[in-house]
Amino acid sequence: MNDRIAALMIGRGGSSLKNKNILPVHGHPLLLWSAAAARRSTFIGRYYMSSDSEDILSVARRAGYTSILRPPELATSTSQSSDVVRHALSVIEEENPVDIIVVQHANVGTITEKIIDDCVRELMADESLSSVVPCHVNNEYNPYRAKKCNDESLLEPFIQSEGPVSANRQDLPSSYFFDHSIWALRVSAIKEPGGQKPWDCMGNRIKPYLTSGCLDVHDLEDIEKTEKWITDNNIPAPDFKSE
């Protein structure tokens, strides 16, 4: 374990699904499944939870996560996660410097220590990378197939193309979507302005780590899907007695 590599879980109290971050998943609060994976990591040496909710912070402390109480302006429905990460980083570095932050999302239980360690390992191996982020490919929702409404409430291409666009998704460039399970971020990239939007804390040299099945919880059906994924992948139940 390395004290210059820290886990930062983020999750606010307000949500369309009440208390989703701590809803029971196979009898354990949702966020503890991600916390348990991080505690089993080969690399992570420090653990933090950023939230406006004492209930969330309290559950995370059971896993050894130090509480970071975020200010009200970073706990609204329009708050940006990159701003939350930067605020937390400033608190973390008041204790000791860090080189890598592994951002975890409190509403994701479909995560393993292998995913965490693989991403950290790739980031450590290539100093030119700003981040390594789990992704999946889904050309069904390729940007070239997307539409938007114009001022007349009529559909038009979301992205204007200079040439022809194939109607066959297999002919289109692969489109990558973040799982939002974890982000392995180099701290120097978090601090530098001008990263790729909308998550500019990732920097501009982002390497994808391909996954399948990871999902973030937004409704009760997602809880059921998470439980099935945990069962199918033989994920051990959270147990922090030895921590």
Task: Count how many domains the chain has.
Answer: 2
Residues 26 and 55 occupy one common structural domain: yes
Domain that holds residue 166: 139-173
Same domain, residue pair 116 and 199: yes
Q: Residue 37 in 3-state DSSP?
A: helix
CB 32 within 8 A of CB 62: yes
- Considering the domain boundaries, does residue 216 fall inside one? yes
Give yes or no: residues 93 and 165 share one domain.
Answer: no
Regarding whether 159 and 208 lie in a shared domain, the answer is no
Low-confidence ranges of the chain (pLDDT < 50): 243
Whole-number pLDDT of residue 113: 96
Whole-model pTM over 0.85:
yes
Q: What is the pLDDT of residue 82?
A: 93
User: Same domain for 132 and 99?
Assistant: yes
Q: Which residues contact 17 (CB under 8 A, 6 or more apart)?
A: 23, 217, 218, 219, 220
Which pLDDT score, from 0 to 100, does residue 242 have?
52
pLDDT, position 69 = 94
The pLDDT value given to residue 77: 83
d(CA 240, CA 63): 6
Q: Determine the pLDDT at residue 239.
A: 87
Q: CA separation (Å) from 67 to 53, 84, 85? A: 10, 13, 14
Helices 220-232 and 30-39 meet at what angle, rounded to 10? 30
Q: Are residues 49 and 145 in the same domain?
A: no
Residue 33: predicted pLDDT = 94
